[in-house]
Each structure stands twice: as C-alpha cells, then as structure tokens.
Structure 1
C-alpha cells in the first residue's frame, strides 16, 4: 500500500509535485512545530503606555454622557476592563455609581423619519444598567438614569475637596498580562434639564447671576434666541439679543396640565400677553420639532414628543447639528420700498428630562412689528 502511494507520487508532474511538497512542509511548520518543540502559545500584546488622555471625568447628571480618550497604544484587542478600588478621597467606598436603574437602550436606529410616538418607542427598550460603566472599547458611560437623587453632585459652594471626589482604578487585562491605571476621578455636575442652561447656576441649580453684575441679587442671566430682521413696533429699529440689549429672552420651563410628554411653544409681548401663533405666518409648524398631534390655539402650539430632545445625537431634519434641536419661527411683512421682509427668531435647544415643557420667547421692551410699512 505504501509502495503504491510512492508510485503515485512519482507519477505526478514536476510542478504538481513541488506544490504538494510545499503544502506538506507548510502544514508541518504551522501545525506541528509547536507540538514537536513544545513552544508556548502566542500571547496578546499589552503596552506599558496604555492610558487615557484625561483622567478626570465630569459628567452632567440626568443625561447620557460618553467619556473616553482611551489610548490602547497598539495593544491587542479585545481587552477586559474592570473598575476597582472605587473610593472617595477620604477612603470611604464609592457605591452610588454602581447602583442599577432602568435606562433606555436603542435596539433599532432612530433617523428622525418616524411617523408616531409608537414607532419611536418600538425602536428602544428599558434595560437595567449600572449608572456608571465602562464599555469593551474603553469608553466610559454615565447613563441618563443617574440623577441628583441617586448620585450626589459636586458641592453647591463650588469647593473641590478630595473627600467629595470619587476616585477609582481601572484594571485592564488581555492574554498578554494586565495593568492598572490608578486614580481616575469622577466629579459629576448636577442635573441641567435643558440646554442652553446659561440661566442656571451650575452649582446650586438656582438662577444664574448676570455675568455683568454677578454680585447683584436683583439681576440674573437669561437664555437668548437667535434673531434676524425683527423690527420693534414702537421703535422701528432692529431688536437685539446681546448682553446689553436683552430685547428678547427665552424661558425653558415646565408647565402644568400636559400629558407627561408634551412640548409647547409660546411667544409673549412686552406686557407678558401671549401673541397669537397665527401672526408668525411663515412658520412651518408641522416641521418645527419631531412631534405629533399638534394643538394650535390662540396662545400656543403644542406637540406630543418623545424625550430627550433630540432623542440621539445624530443629524436629522429637526436637529441638523445632531446635539441640539433647531426651532425657528418666521413671519413676513412688506418693508420700505415694497420688498417683502422675512423675520426669523428661534433657538437651538435640548431637553433631557421627560415631562411637560414649554419654550417661551418673551419680547421684553418692544413688540415685534407685523404691519406693512
């Protein structure tokens, strides 16, 4: 039998015989040498320079924060990441970061084309997660379920003592070994339910002082809209929104009487009386936000919405930049010379907390001019 095999080999063409010998040799090298010479298994590479570009994480509670800057320095993936030795600066153990709470996780991509709340909700589900986690990519996440009641934010007096800071070490492992990155820090900010939030004191949650008069308790800072071609009815000049003029300010605030997931837009005149939305005759109300079941009254326009707004940080028709929704009110009038003038004002905003919210534009000093010239 062995003789027949040898005769068969002798009858092969020279080129085929060479290929056969090469394949046999390769099989011996790759599959047999390790067994023959008892060579150790190949290990992953774990760099000594593995680290993070920033070791202090400052998430804002109440919203999903992705934090990273992980530098693997060409180390072999996958790696195992484990948060260890979590403690306050005075040695007390940290446990609040690792509480579990239900949080929304997307199962299908949101794209801004959904036609109902039900279609949106079908694309996400609630899962139990620790409030603070690290992903397999080395990216940290503080989930939106982490709020002021579950995690104590940094002190309201703006101090930064070690006993108020959460420290932890991170153990990183692959088959090449393990390393520990020490003394990473978590210093959370208290919740800011909306953005822009310059009207809110970041430490206390109360009203923010006027940046020009920070020690005057009778003044405060406000959110300001973007605005173009809005003429004052009495002054007949362009109204402004800068720090010195404050002709128009914005409130983002909760209101009562909604359904728990509504968003309302309202415009007030200088006497704090609501202006009929019909006056803003160029506004595309059906495309103002990704909302449904629009209700239009003589005082406001209201929608059923899914929170947060925007739902995810990807560009859509309602949030062209991804991180903020874009709401623009417009109206037109005939100006001097007979040309049509289109006036616009609005806000790029985000709201992170589910509820009934209203965005109010308040003309403080002069009303917008709607009449033709």
Structure 2
C-alpha cells in the first residue's frame, strides 16, 4: 500500500513538472556569433585620388569573428566637426553587371555590360568592410589635402556583439585626369646622328567632352610624322592599338582616332590585347634595312591611363631629331 502511494505521489509530481519543463524551452540560451574585440582596420587614413574609382579591399581583420559582419559608416564630418553633405548625397555611378573581357566589338556592347546606380561618393561594403571612392568626385566638390579633410566612424556588428572604430581619416588627393609612362623604345635611331634617340617626350591633351582618343607624332619642328611610316603595322595591328572602334586616319596620315569608353583601361587588373594588367599599352612598329642588308625592327611602346571622359590626344614629340625610317 505504501509503495502504491509513493508511486501515485511520484506520478503527480511528474505531471506537475511537465508544463514547467515545456515552458522553459524558450528560455534556453541561444548560441551567439563569435565577436572578437581584437578585430581591426589595417588602414585608418585613406588617401584616394579623386576622379577615379578607388577600392580599399582586405583592410579589415575580423580576427576569426563569425561572418558575415555588418559594416556602417557613421558620423561623416569635417575635421572641425561640421556637416559634410557632399559626402552624403547620392550620385549616379556606373558599375559592371557582366564581366568585361576586352573582346567586345562596339561601345554599345561595352555599355550593355554596365548599369548606373545611385551611390554616396564614399562608402563601405555592407558585409565586406571594403571602402570605395567613386569616380564622380572632383576637387570642385570634395576637400583635398593640404586641407585637413574628413573624419568618420565605422560600426561593425553581428548578433554576438558590436564595436565602433572612431576618427578614421579621409584625405582625398587632387585628381589627375591622365598618367603616361615613357614605356620603352627599341632601335629608334635619329635621322641625322643614326644614334639611339633617348629624348622622347609625351603630351596628353584633352580637346573636348566626347569619347575619343587620337595618337600623333611630331618632329623637332612640330611637323606631323606620317603614320604610314610605321610600315610594319597592318590594319589589324592598328585595330588592336587600343580597345577602340570606328578607327579613322587623318587624310594626311598625321593622326589616327578611335571611339573609346573611359576610363582607359576599363579594367586595369585584366590583361588584354590593350592592357598589360595595370596600364593601357599601345605599340608602334616599323622596320628598315640597315647596312649589310640586315632588316631591323623598331618599336615605340606607350603605357598610360586616362580617367576622365573626353576627346583626348596623345602626342609623341621628338625634340632633337626625327626617327630614321629610310633604308641605308
């Protein structure tokens, strides 16, 4: 009898405890994401050059925090704490929606791979922590060094925690619409000394607001050198001089012009027939017969970048003597 009574009491207590156990289920602690407070930015002062898309990737160390993290730029301000509406306003920027290959056959085909979206000039990737300065910014709008420029904060979070990085610096640099390297020259002899020409100068001029680029060569008297003298260049070589279209030679063979999309190169890191993986590359070739019947090839290669849309002209100037094109 006593054992039956104990069994009854035990079952009753179990019945009373079941609702309590069931109701406690929602109070079991959930497992939070890892959030390491030793996370950090490897760069805290940013100096993008205006007038071009500048990307800062791999500048954040999550220190094995659970991904994805969420990033937000906060409290953009001048160095004195004043508001900076120029950095908060949205601007139309062009982005790639399909990969650029360098094999596109027209400007329309290139533009069909892009889209225009509205973005702030300075922003951070929501889950990447990568910063972007879009090319729509210019020194007519944005403060540049030597001005003290801007400060901003970044919030980093996941459901395991939140941290603020304070007083990061943004110090934009004055835009450079173009850059040209001397490239290299091989076997370019002077027409008077028959020695290698070492003094070659390069001018890059913006002539209008269109979408074109023109190449020309000038002798010491600033007279055009006919492009027909580059006798090793066939039609296909001229077409591959740059990723451009509607190639047009001047009637006197003093220049060649292409319709192009800007910037040049469109994707600097992609090696193509027109790009060495960093800069645009355009080479001009000619050959001549030297003494003894030896055939020699001469090469002038230009390496350059142009960021601003326009009608641009690249001029190669020989200030001391013109190249020797005639056979010996």
TM-score normalised by structure 2 residue count: 0.87
Quick check: which one's strand share is greater? 2
Correspondence list, 1:251-330, <5 A? 251-256=203-208, 260-283=210-233, 284-297=237-250, 298-313=253-268, 314-321=270-277, 323-330=278-285
**Is contact 1:225-1:250 (8 Å) kept?**
no
CA distance in 2, matches of 1:116, 1:185: 41
- Structure 2, unmatched stretches of 5+, are 1-20
CA distance in 1, matches of 2:298, 2:68: 55
**Is contact 2:143-2:149 (8 Å) kept?**
no
Structure 1 residue 39, shift from structure 2 partner:
2.0
Pick from 50, 63, 78: which aligns with 2:52? 63
CA distance in 2, matches of 1:253, 1:105: 27
1:54 maps to 43
**Is contact 1:292-1:305 (8 Å) kept?**
yes
**Is contact 2:155-2:164 (8 Å) kept?**
yes
CA distance in 1, matches of 2:31, 2:23: 10
Whether 2:313 is the aligned partner of 1:358: answer yes
Structure 1 residue 229, shift from structure 2 partner:
0.8
Whether 2:191 is the aligned partner of 1:191: answer no
**Is contact 1:97-1:130 (8 Å) kept?**
yes
What is the aligned-residue RMSD (CA, Å)? 1.8
**Is contact 1:225-1:249 (8 Å) kept?**
no
2:17 maps to none
CA distance in 2, matches of 1:102, 1:273: 43
CA distance in 1, matches of 2:318, 2:23: 80
With over 3 angstroms needed to count, the CA separation of the structure-2 counterparts of 1:300 and 1:41, relative to structure 1, is same
Q: Secondary structure at the match of 2:182?
A: coil
Pick from 69, 73, 82: which aligns with 1:83? 73
CA distance in 2, matches of 1:351, 1:86: 30
Q: Secondary structure at the match of 2:228?
A: helix
Q: Which runs of 4+ in 1 moved over 6 A?
A: 32-35
**Is contact 1:101-1:130 (8 Å) kept?**
yes
Higher relative contact order (CA 8 A, sep 6+): 2
Structure 1 residue 183, shift from structure 2 partner:
1.6
Correspondence list, 1:201-280, <5 A? 224-240=182-198, 247-256=199-208, 260-280=210-230
Structure 1 residue 98, shift from structure 2 partner:
2.1
Q: Secondary structure at the match of 1:264?
A: strand
Whether 2:139 is the aligned partner of 1:148: answer yes
Moved more, 80-89 or 363-372: 80-89
1:38 maps to 27
**Is contact 1:133-1:142 (8 Å) kept?**
yes
